[in-house]
Chains A and B, each alone.
Chain A
Amino acid sequence: MTLHLAVALDGAGWHPAAWREASAQPEAIFSARYWAALVAEAERGLLDFVTIEDSLSLQSTLLDGPDARADQVRGRFDAVLLTARLAPLTSRIGLVPTATTTHTEPFHVAIGIATLDHVSGGRAGWRPQISARSTEAAHFGRRPFPRLDGSFSIDDEHVRALFEEATDAVEVVRRLWDSWEDDAEIRDLPTGRFIDRDKLHYIDFAGRFFSVRGPSITPRSPQGQPVVTALAHARLPYEFAAGGADVVYVTPHSADQARAIVEEVRELSAELRVFADLVVFLGDDAAERKARLDGLDGAELRSDAAIFTGTPEELAELLLQWRRAGIEGFRLRPGALPYDLEAITRGLTAELRGRGAFRRSYEATTLRGLLGLPRPASRYAEVS
């Protein structure tokens, strides 16, 4: 029984004090070489893909708005451009940036991710993300959002509308990716036609939040449909993921929870690949390292995902246990970079291979290929 492995890259790792570790390079976070080294390490470990976190506001410990803290990583690159910068430096690993559906035009997302797929030779994915923060909406000034406070709930009308909008955005993006059929470019000398325009399609999407005419300006990309992934913690985002994503990241805290979540997701979709997110601190002294970082930060690490501390061997056992509960892959969030990433790519993968549970070489050239997803024909192509 094999499993898929991805890592979530963000800042100096997922512990807010990770940048203060001796092996951390916080001065290099705003350079290409920093990220190039991380993704090269992930590719050496033969991981399926890396994700890059993003948002259109500064990181904060507050629910809504900047916290003016000096002692945590603040600042991020645009994730789509960062992954594009990494694409020519890698050859097999999938690249999955985050881009918001709340403020970014679906048309721009569609051509950005399609272009990432072109420049990476078919290794692009996308994590659509909603943004409910009023302070982030103020960066655009297009529509006022209510300020989020302690009573914030995923069932708020405001949040439900953002998910509805995100569902429309994913639908538009997917239609645009299909709006050029694969063989639209003909270069027909006798008629002087570069394209067969019958194989380019208006998508004519009209929804509650926007309408988009199409077609895309970008020809269909190597994967046809880059891989769409979504983080989900509750019924509403499960439904969002089931409606439009290929991969969902869920956050169980035990094998039993994992089994229950997989069951719930399976009621919604038979095809969705279910990955579990885990924050991981690895090594013989993992618990002490985490405790020391907690001390530096002045607070115990809190996370939506389960937090694992232990050896690569122990983590391999846990992953296989959850695998038996129906989880098909894992998106590991390294507690500290590059330390815990190297423990994944060198230690964990070796443990898994020893149990026959992880690849020994890349078996495909595209991300869809690595995930066992077929390359779909354009929805607009007529079956002949």
Chain B
Amino acid sequence: MTRKQIHLAAHFPGVNNTTVWADPRSGSQIDFASFAHLARTAERGKFDFFFLAEGLRLRELKGRIHDLDVVGRPEALTVLSALAAVTERLGLAGTVNATFNEPYELARRLSTLDHLSDGRAAWNVVTTSDAFTGENFRRGGYLDRADRYTRAAEFVRLSRELWDSWQPGAHLADKSRAQFVRPAAIGTVRHEGPHFTVEGQFTLPRGPQGHPVIIQAGDSDEGREFAAATADVIFSRHGTLEDGRAFYADVKGRLARYHREPDQLKIMPAATYALGDTEEEAAENAAAIRRQQVGPQTATAFIEQVWGRDMSAYDPDGPLPDVEPDPSEGVSQGRVPFGDRAAVAAKWRALAEEKKLTIRELVIEVTGRQTFVGTPAGVARQIDEHVQADAADGFILVPHLTPGGLDEFVDRVVPLLQERGAFRTDYTGTTLREHLELS
């Protein structure tokens, strides 16, 4: 029996504190050369796809733009289209918001990317419910949280109708018979739903993949159900073995309800890593990266998000002060909320007291270590074990450095995954659907 194959994706380092900019090797977050370097590295490593996140409003803390992390990024699909020119096989996945886009236009852009990349386009479907981001858009305001997945589901369903609306062979280009298209093969889509009313003909023939690959990243029960019904890939947060196995079993178990096979939905948790020639060196590197990711000002900003008040008077290298969180509204905008802040604060305080941690050490502790730490052989073994144990179908790797953060992984870990017979030594197909073994 052949070994279960690992799928790998490369996440361009994002605009949160996991991306280290205070390092001499840190390059531009916006120059095309950075995107091209990371994408070419991923393609050299035979990765399934390259992944871009999105955020349509700059994050704020205490009513001002958050200035401690990398800020600024391009429009995702525009960069991916440019990357299609400098890569040949790598899948190109963009996060695009279903709240602040319209189906006809976005479906058309995704179809364009699919044509221009010869079948390598993917869409990570996200929704935003906050009025904060809405202030940048005509649509404005607010999408009720309860409506997020109904909108996303209707959006994807309608997009697929549009992608299917030109039958195969509608574009004839037959000079002798004077038939550029076969008009009867271009359908009219008529859609009337709670979120969208759309009528008309699409402007593009069916793309090389038919439907671009759909990725989903939400973790709630509704999110999982949406993924089971609709998505081709889940970008999950469950990187540990036990967590991963539980999530994997749960989501794969939902597929039968939608008459789908378990291998029709690939589960790819986000994963970070730190490598070293020995286990000790890897651990040291991991700790050094964590300290870079959580500088003193970042530590203060982190506890401010939970405490909901100005904490700048307290030394981040000193103990957690004896003040209670402000229960009124939060100070952070544009990021995933912390939930019950009072409970989080109590938990953090107990942890700090037990382990005698400074503010900065506490934040380093609670914001999670790297998913994989070890020698290249050790990391290759861990990744393979996760996949063989059905904790994942692969991983979306998140380097901490732009643009060279993936180099060492591709040079040192990928060959070992290939030696284990768990990862392709070359692409066998041309489209992303083929890489992901999706029908």
Q: Are A194 and B67 in contact (CB under 8 A)?
A: yes
Q: Could you tell me the distance between the alpha carbons of A105 and B179 in the complex, rounded to whole angstroms?
A: 35
Q: Could you tell me the distance between the alpha carbons of A58 and B180 in the complex, rounded to whole angstroms?
A: 13
Encode contact with A along B62-78: 1 for CB under 8 Å, 0 otherwise: 00110111111111011
Q: How far is the CB of A44 from chain B (nearest CB, A)?
A: 18
Question: A302 interface residue, CB < 8 Å from B?
Answer: no
Encode contact with B along A116-139: 1 for CB under 8 Å, 0 otherwise: 101101000000000000011011
Q: How far is the CB of B368 from chain A (nearest CB, A)?
A: 20
Out of B77, B79, B112, which one reaches A77, CB within 8 Å?
B112
Q: Which of B100-108, B237-245, B257-265, B419-427 contacts A (4 or more CB under 8 A)?
A: B100-108
Q: Are A214 and B72 in contact (CB under 8 A)?
A: no
Question: B45 interface residue, CB < 8 Å from A?
Answer: no
Known interface pairs A193-B67, A213-B136. Does A74 touch B180 (Cβ–Cβ under 8 Å)?
yes
Question: A89 interface residue, CB < 8 Å from B?
Answer: yes
Known interface pairs A30-B171, A141-B199, A296-B178. Does A192 touch B295 (Cβ–Cβ under 8 Å)?
yes
Encode contact with B along A197-225: 1 for CB under 8 Å, 0 otherwise: 10010000000011111110111000000
Q: How many residues of A contact B (CB 8 A)?
A: 78
Q: Are B69 and A194 in contact (CB under 8 A)?
A: yes
Encode contact with A along B272-283: 1 for CB under 8 Å, 0 otherwise: 000000000000
Write out the residue numbers on chain B whose beta carbons fall within 8 Å of the beta carbon of A72.
180
Question: A231 interface residue, CB < 8 Å from B?
Answer: no
Q: Could you tell me the distance between the alpha carbons of A291 and B36 in the complex, rounded to whole angstroms?
A: 47
Encode contact with B along A321-362: 1 for CB under 8 Å, 0 otherwise: 000000000000000000000000000000000000000000
Write out the residue numbers on chain B whose beta carbons fall within 8 Å of the beta carbon of A215.
58, 65
Encode contact with A along B108-122: 1 for CB under 8 Å, 0 otherwise: 110011011110000
Q: Are B32 and A119 in contact (CB under 8 A)?
A: yes
Question: B296 interface residue, CB < 8 Å from A?
Answer: yes
Q: Are A26 and B113 in contact (CB under 8 A)?
A: no
Write out the residue numbers on chain A whose beta carbons fall within 8 Å of the beta carbon of B116.
32, 77, 81-82, 85
Q: Could you tell me the distance between the alpha carbons of A191 and B22 in the complex, rounded to whole angstroms?
A: 11
Question: B81 interface residue, CB < 8 Å from A?
Answer: yes
Chief secondary structure at chain B's binding surface: loop
Known interface pairs A57-B201, A73-B180. Does A19 touch B108 (Cβ–Cβ under 8 Å)?
no
Q: Are A217 and B72 in contact (CB under 8 A)?
A: yes
Q: What number of A-B contacts does a CB cutoff of 8 Å give? A: 218
Q: Are B72 and A75 in contact (CB under 8 A)?
A: no
Write out the residue numbers on chain A whose beta carbons fall within 8 Å of the beta carbon of B30.
118, 218-219
Q: Are B85 and A85 in contact (CB under 8 A)?
A: yes
Q: Could you tell me the distance between the alpha carbons of A103 and B105 in the complex, rounded to whole angstroms?
A: 9
Out of A56, A71, A114, A194, which one reaches B105, CB within 8 Å?
A56
Write the chain B residue with the least CB distance to A67.
Answer: B183
Out of B71, B79, B179, B186, which one reaches A194, CB within 8 Å?
B71
Give the size range of B's interface with the partner. 35 or more
Question: A195 interface residue, CB < 8 Å from B?
Answer: yes
Question: B175 interface residue, CB < 8 Å from A?
Answer: yes
Known interface pairs A19-B180, A140-B104, A212-B136. Does A77 touch B75 (Cβ–Cβ under 8 Å)?
no
Question: B84 interface residue, CB < 8 Å from A?
Answer: yes
Q: Are A217 and B73 in contact (CB under 8 A)?
A: yes
Out of A107, A115, A196, A296, which one reaches B78, CB within 8 Å?
A115
Q: How far is the CB of A114 from chain B (nearest CB, A)?
A: 7
Q: Are B78 and A80 in contact (CB under 8 A)?
A: yes
Out of B75, B201, B204, which one reaches A114, CB within 8 Å?
B75
Encode contact with A along B170-193: 1 for CB under 8 Å, 0 otherwise: 010101001111110010000000
Q: Are B204 and A30 in contact (CB under 8 A)?
A: yes
Write the chain A residue with the least CB distance to B69.
Answer: A194
Write out the residue numbers on chain B whose beta carbons fall within 8 Å of the beta carbon of A108.
75, 100-101
Question: B57 interface residue, CB < 8 Å from A?
Answer: yes
Write the chain B residue with the least CB distance to A139.
Answer: B104
Q: Are A85 and B68 in contact (CB under 8 A)?
A: no
| A-B pairs with beta carbons under 8 Å apart, 27 shown | A19-B175, A27-B171, A29-B173, A32-B118, A56-B105, A56-B108, A56-B203, A57-B203, A70-B179, A76-B204, A81-B112, A86-B85, A87-B85, A106-B138, A114-B74, A115-B78, A119-B32, A119-B79, A140-B102, A141-B197, A142-B102, A200-B58, A211-B140, A212-B137, A215-B65, A217-B55, A218-B72
Knowing that A180-B72, A187-B21 are A-B contacts, what are 13 other residue pairs whose CB atoms are under 8 Å apart, sorted by A's residue number? A19-B173, A29-B173, A58-B203, A75-B204, A77-B112, A111-B74, A119-B82, A138-B198, A139-B105, A139-B198, A192-B297, A195-B71, A219-B30
